[in-house]
A and B are shown apart, each in its own frame.
Chain A
Amino acid sequence: MTDLTSLTLAEARDALKAKTFTAVELTDAYLAAMEAARGLNAYVVETPEIARDMAKASDARLAAGQAGPLEGLPLGIKDLYATKGVHTQACSHILDRFKPVYESTVSANLWADGAVMLGKLNMDEFAMGSSNETSHYGPVVNPWRRKGSDVKLVPGGSSGGSAAAVAGRLCLGATATDTGGSIRQPAAFTGTVGIKPTYGRCSRWGLVAFASSLDQAGPIARDVRDAAILLKSMASVDPRDTTSVDLPVPDYEAAVGKSVKGLRIGIPKEYRLDGMPAEIDALWRRGIDILREAGAEIVDISLPHTKYALPAYYIVAPAEASSNLARYDGVRYGLRVPGSDIIDMYENTRAAGFGAEVKRRILIGTYVLSAGYYDAYYLRAQKVRTLIKRDFELAYAAGVDAILTPATPSAAFGIGEKADADPVEMYLNDVFTVTVNMAGLPGIAVPAGLSAEGLPLGLQLIGRPFDEETLFTLGAAIEKAAGTFSPAKWW
């Protein structure tokens, strides 16, 4: 039998339906692959018993002709998603031993459609990071390496475990979340496909909150079709999240393979930064050529407030985070470090429980919201956010269907390479992705080529609100021309 983990999610789905192999066999193949890849540190918890039980139940449903859309397909779940009775810590020390008594809506949707849980995936602590190096459980190793080098690279972040697990074939697909680029940047660093849907498309209920006005759930997958299949199951309106939107969930898979003829693609001049690496620029041009040759119309556009998105984000996101993370006080769940009185207990618990990056953001957020600074920082940033969103609205009103940009300003970098750098340098990883969160739009990252060093590079497509279908259509067109990318196995 061929290696079952080499199949895509769509291929495995079809093979299970055709009874080529069983869900238990498929699950066992993944559990073995996970065991062999522990050096990558993609999973923080493996759940083999749960996985085999779910797979057995799937085989029974497949035999009875009652298969759901994801029946028997093994997935990894980012540690940010509440999973009932299973380790859920957003990879933070402060949530030690937390086992939720409830299931997140998105993961519940996946299980209802028949998917199998393999375990919980590593991530930056509370999703704050762009390299997966802030995790309490240590960094994730990217399955990709530079040509002729054994230097360990980061998989990006914050969904670094999700991206590495998908690229390394340690799951068929993974859940992820994206607050400033945390799905798209790791997808670009690992040659996988990641989509952050429109704000409100997926329920945030049961996701550990970082910045509530920016957080969205989405999948990371091996190809565009797999991402479309997963998003269809993940998306729903939810009475428990009033920001989830009551719109029908389209059959995203049907959008894969449609013609891009006549679609107007905007190329924003503001994303051509001074000093942009030549190979990023070349990749972008290649993406433009691919879409033009496929029949799309390319138009130059301007999004004048682009450069203010990242600084505005570093006010809005920490402000919301400082508020959301106030709940970790050593009383209701997780770590508790004793103190001389209750305030001392709070301070000791939070000092020991949060890592350096999380503390940094809580302090920035507390500062910009503190008396006398609110108008100068937070209010101004929210006004700038209105302008960023307006830039996109004007482009779409002028007839643009989607916008094409690079996904990241570089390929994956080495673990520890930026350890001594200024925090702002790490933040710049999200320079192309953060605008999309600030405007609440959908964005997909699709691999489109390799760097001179043999590392994957991704393009980003940004869509109209709730028009994920066009992104899947365009992403599939790029994928058809550029191909898909897998790392050579070395681990």
Chain B
Amino acid sequence: MAPRRDRCYTREHSSLFEGIYMSVDTATVRRVARLARIKVTDDEAERMTNELNSILGFVEQLNEVDVAGVEPMTSVVSVKMRRRQDVVTDGEDAAAVVANAPVSEDNFFLVPKVVE
């Protein structure tokens, strides 16, 4: 097995954010998982808490950057977005729209009952 040469980068980066950084607890991970509509088991929540904290620790170094007066990027290429005529160009094909639905009936998507 080859030596894990890129370890050195991990160490280099970790040294940058030793100290205080925002971290999440398992309850927060559960809340976020609920927002994202992903069911997590207790074990998963615990494991994800550690992983998320590792990632949040890594991104913490952005706090070193002076961003005063800097515009946030909204478009990476400086071209004006094209416009088109506001007319219908597609549609009228319900069968194609539902073709891949796991459950459908008469060109409607079927879901569990939402309103009593």
- Measured CB to CB, the residues of A under 8 A from B are 97-101, 146, 151, 198-200, 213, 239, 242-243, 245-246, 273-277, 305, 307-308, 310-312, 314-315, 322, 326, 329-336, 338-339, 341-348, 350-351, 354, 359-360, 362-364, 366-367, 370, 376-377, 379-387, 389, 409-411, 413-414, 417-418, 422-425, 427-429, 431, 438-440, 453, 465
B99 neighbours in A (Cβ, 8 Å): 99, 101
A425 neighbours in B (Cβ, 8 Å): 6-7, 10
Distance between Cα atoms of A427 and B48 in the complex (Å): 16
From known contacts A151-B1, A199-B77, A331-B109, infer whether A346 and B55 are also in contact, taking CB-CB under 8 Å. no
- Over the window 1-39 of chain B, the binary record of Cβ atoms lying under 8 Å from chain A Cβ atoms (1 yes, 0 no) is 110111111111100000000101000110011111111
Q: Does B87 contact A (CB under 8 A)?
A: no
Q: How many A-B residue pairs have CB under 8 A?
A: 207
Beta-carbon contact of A387 and B37 below 8 Å: no
A311 neighbours in B (Cβ, 8 Å): 58-62
Beta-carbon contact of B8 and A274 below 8 Å: yes
- Measured CB to CB, the residues of B under 8 A from A are 1-2, 4-13, 22, 24, 28-29, 32-40, 48, 51-52, 54-56, 58-65, 67, 70-77, 79, 81-82, 84, 96, 98-103, 109, 111-114
Beta-carbon contact of B72 and A382 below 8 Å: yes
* Shortest Cβ distance from residue A264 to the other chain B in the assembled complex, whole angstroms: 23
19 chain-A/chain-B pairs, Cβ below 8 angstroms: A100-B100, A213-B75, A243-B75, A245-B79, A275-B9, A307-B61, A308-B65, A326-B37, A331-B109, A339-B112, A348-B39, A362-B38, A366-B35, A367-B52, A377-B59, A386-B71, A429-B6, A439-B76, A465-B77
Beta-carbon contact of A350 and B37 below 8 Å: yes
Distance between Cα atoms of A354 and B70 in the complex (Å): 36
From known contacts A330-B102, A379-B72, A423-B51, infer whether A314 and B59 are also in contact, taking CB-CB under 8 Å. yes
A350 neighbours in B (Cβ, 8 Å): 36-39
From known contacts A312-B62, A384-B62, A425-B6, infer whether A246 and B82 are also in contact, taking CB-CB under 8 Å. yes
Beta-carbon contact of A366 and B36 below 8 Å: yes
Beta-carbon contact of A322 and B36 below 8 Å: yes
B51 neighbours in A (Cβ, 8 Å): 360, 422-423
B98 neighbours in A (Cβ, 8 Å): 332
B11 neighbours in A (Cβ, 8 Å): 275
Say which residue of A274, A346, A367, A414 sits within 8 Å of B2 (CB atoms): A414
A380 neighbours in B (Cβ, 8 Å): 62-63, 65, 67
Closest to B83 in A: A242
Distance between Cα atoms of A264 and B39 in the complex (Å): 53
B71 neighbours in A (Cβ, 8 Å): 383, 386
Q: What 4 A-B pairs are tightest by C-beta distance, nearest first? A: A440-B76, A275-B8, A382-B72, A333-B100
Say which residue of B10, B52, B59, B63 sits within 8 Å of A428 (CB atoms): B10
Distance between Cα atoms of A173 and B72 in the complex (Å): 38
Distance between Cα atoms of A333 and B4 in the complex (Å): 41
A342 neighbours in B (Cβ, 8 Å): 111-114
Closest to A201 in B: B77
From known contacts A200-B77, A389-B73, infer whether A336 and B103 are also in contact, taking CB-CB under 8 Å. yes
From known contacts A99-B100, A311-B58, A347-B39, infer whether A364 and B52 are also in contact, taking CB-CB under 8 Å. yes
